[in-house]
Structure 1
Amino acid sequence: MTNLPSSIQVFERGWLSANNVLLIGRHDTALIDSGYYTHRDQTLALVRHGLRGRRLDRLYTTHLHSDHCGGNAILQAHFGCNTFVPAAEEEKVRRWDEDALSFKATGQQCERFTIDGVITPGETLTLGDLEWQVLGAPGHHAHSVIFYCPQEKVLVSADALWWNGFGVIFPELEGEEGFAEAGATLDLIAGLDVRLVIPGHGAVFEDVGPALQRARRRLDFLSGDPKRNAEYAVKVLLKFLLLERQRIPVADVASVLGSMPVIAESNRRHLHMSNEDLAAWAVKHLVRACTARIDGEFLLNDG
């Protein structure tokens, strides 16, 4: 792993589950993000192996998307760890309001978990014997946070910045502001002295400058026509379901997409297609990109 401090372990998980960041200090341990629900047993195994017999004391969630918090419940059950989410999400989680949270809207799963407290932009935490600043990072998710360690110049960027882009700007799909917020988050990151980025998905990387440039070009492209962000979201959410299920009957894709409130609202606002036309469009683009293939009556995960 690229020049990581000895107290930090990163479990790179692919795209169904977000990366997990394990921080081991002299007196306690913490984890940032826990992956997707269907990978929960693997998450537990990875964390147990990384802890080498120690217990997990604290669990932090950067934002309430299912691929970042789907392992929270199993980790709580096994370790009894104290769990923290961004302050703006506190009441939604305590009530387990799936309409207000993102799980139902995106057709994804997340086992109910409890919380012991919240994290607020501006506070400083000690994780793995290092001091980390909690920073607000709206854009992809209105209430996302990221973590920055000035001592080691390490950034846990969640889905605000990847090596090649960032996550779907979900607020824009439902008529809320997101593009300007994403740009402000990129400006925030550019103002930090960062030598190493631990993204929410993909490998740890060092060249933050070029990554920021790619992200800005991507944001300019999406914000130039909000329809592009909506199209991107449809492809991403269908691919996510394929990663989870591995196969979906082609005939069912229209109803699957139509059952997701975030897609239905985005389609109403930006795409103006029938469910059948939207499904045909999405399938065609995933197959053309070699991320899915058709085998008889089924759309299969690929790539």
Structure 2
Amino acid sequence: MTLPATMRVFERGWLSSNNILFIGRDDTALVDSGYATHAPQTVALVRHALQGRPLDRLINTHMHSDHCGGNAALQREYRCRTTIPASEADAVRTWNQDVLTFELTGQQCERFTYTDTLAPGDAITLGDMEWQVLGAPGHDPHSLVFYCPAERILISADALWENGFGVIFPELEGASGFAETRATLELIASLNVDIVIPGHGAPFTDFDAALKRAFSRLDYFVADPARNAQNAVKVLLKFLLLERQSIPLADVPRLMADMHLSAEANRRYLHQPAEDLAEWAVSQLVRACAAKVVDDRLVNVG
């Protein structure tokens, strides 16, 4: 797999999204900035790769904290033009953390500003290449993906991973998300793609196989929406554990109950006492070797 010389992908850990750096003849740009706790590392990676050049533009595929948590740090470092999805502009301008889902997911993001916006149907030049801006609702109603027809490259954010896609969050609150996810996958399937750069995980080339797995996973959730809720609860706990690295087991029920989306997933679909749900989520992470229990604490693994 060979990317164009003007592109670099920084594959990050699960807590942070991947960062895609473009170094063109006349300007530079970064797509997505990772999580807040990794912001100094993000700045260092960008600074090293740019070798003295400025970062001219920062672009976000969507406003989840693991994709925009480094925005403020990069703005301080470079005073870069910052571009966000148009439908998120009001929430960012007023810093409505409920709409932006930071508080709903128990996550953090330092406040940042934006310069301009992108919407589905727009076109953008990155790394001397022309990219189409496509809407990709499902995981997030406002998410965008970027497609370069000339190079047959898709920057898919959390709409398509090598093994699935991001949690379908709207369904947790009783909104529609499954239909939007299917429409997004069908749109992506209509593209001529050689390389996919996902929001998490390594870039990959087996596009058809990834789509087949994604459609199968969606069918699995649609058949029983509680499965999407269970997946969300595990992911939210894992994200919290990645940030804190260690959590007293006695605190897990309260922390999960305090996360709005986790509580909503339980209220609508799982109907478990807080202690039982916490015990189940902990056991699932341990079973998956994503965590371990040490001296009455849940400890991150990986």
Per the shorter chain, which TM-score range? over 0.9
- Measure the CA separation in 2 of the matches of 1:208 and 1:231: 27
* 2:229 matched residue in structure 1: 230
Letter in 1 for 2:52: G
* 2:69 matched residue in structure 1: 70
- Measure the CA separation in 1 of the matches of 2:96 and 2:13: 28
Q: Deviations over 1:271-295 (max 9, x none)?
A: 1111111101101111111111100
Q: Deviations over 1:34-63 (max 9, x none)?
A: 000000000000011111110001111001
3-state SS of the aligned residue for 1:21?
Answer: strand
Letter in 2 for 1:218: R
TM-score (norm 1): 0.99
* 1:137 matched residue in structure 2: 136
What's the CA shift for 1:249? 0.3
What's the CA shift for 1:100? 1.3
Q: Deviations over 1:58-106 (max 9, x none)?
A: 1110011000000000000000001111111000000001111110000
3-state SS of the aligned residue for 2:147?
Answer: strand
* 1:36 matched residue in structure 2: 35
* 1:205 matched residue in structure 2: 204
What's the CA shift for 1:115? 0.4
Q: CA RMSD in A?
A: 0.6
3-state SS of the aligned residue for 1:59?
Answer: strand
What's the CA shift for 1:30? 0.5
Alignment coverage as a number of residue pairs = 302
- Measure the CA separation in 2 of the matches of 1:66 and 1:183: 24
* 1:21 matched residue in structure 2: 20
- Measure the CA separation in 1 of the matches of 2:90 and 2:23: 29
* 1:113 matched residue in structure 2: 112
Alignment of 1:83-122 (within 5 A): 83-122=82-121
- Measure the CA separation in 2 of the matches of 1:155 and 1:163: 12
- Measure the CA separation in 1 of the matches of 2:252 and 2:119: 39
What's the CA shift for 1:244? 1.0
- Measure the CA separation in 1 of the matches of 2:286 and 2:194: 37
Q: Deviations over 1:124-151 (max 9, x none)?
A: 0011100000000001001100000011
* 1:300 matched residue in structure 2: 299
- Measure the CA separation in 2 of the matches of 1:28 and 1:290: 43
Letter in 1 for 2:203: V
- Measure the CA separation in 2 of the matches of 1:175 and 1:216: 21
- Measure the CA separation in 1 of the matches of 2:50 and 2:236: 33
Q: Deviations over 1:220-241 (max 9, x none)?
A: 0011111000000000111111
* 1:162 matched residue in structure 2: 161
- Measure the CA separation in 1 of the matches of 2:254 and 2:267: 15
What's the CA shift for 1:173? 0.5
3-state SS of the aligned residue for 2:113?
Answer: coil
Letter in 2 for 1:270: Y
Runs of 4+ with deviation above 3 angstroms: none
- Measure the CA separation in 2 of the matches of 1:244 and 1:99: 20
What's the CA shift for 1:187? 0.6
Identity of aligned residues (%): 63
What's the CA shift for 1:297? 1.4
Alignment of 1:185-264 (within 5 A): 185-264=184-263
TM-score (norm 2): 0.99
* 2:277 matched residue in structure 1: 278
Q: Deviations over 1:184-218 (max 9, x none)?
A: 11111110010000000000101100000000111
Structure 2 regions of 5+ residues with no counterpart? none
Using the TM superposition, name which of 281-290 and 152-161 deviates more.
281-290
3-state SS of the aligned residue for 2:197?
Answer: strand
What's the CA shift for 1:110? 0.3
3-state SS of the aligned residue for 1:212?
Answer: helix
- Measure the CA separation in 1 of the matches of 2:167 and 2:155: 18
3-state SS of the aligned residue for 1:53?
Answer: coil
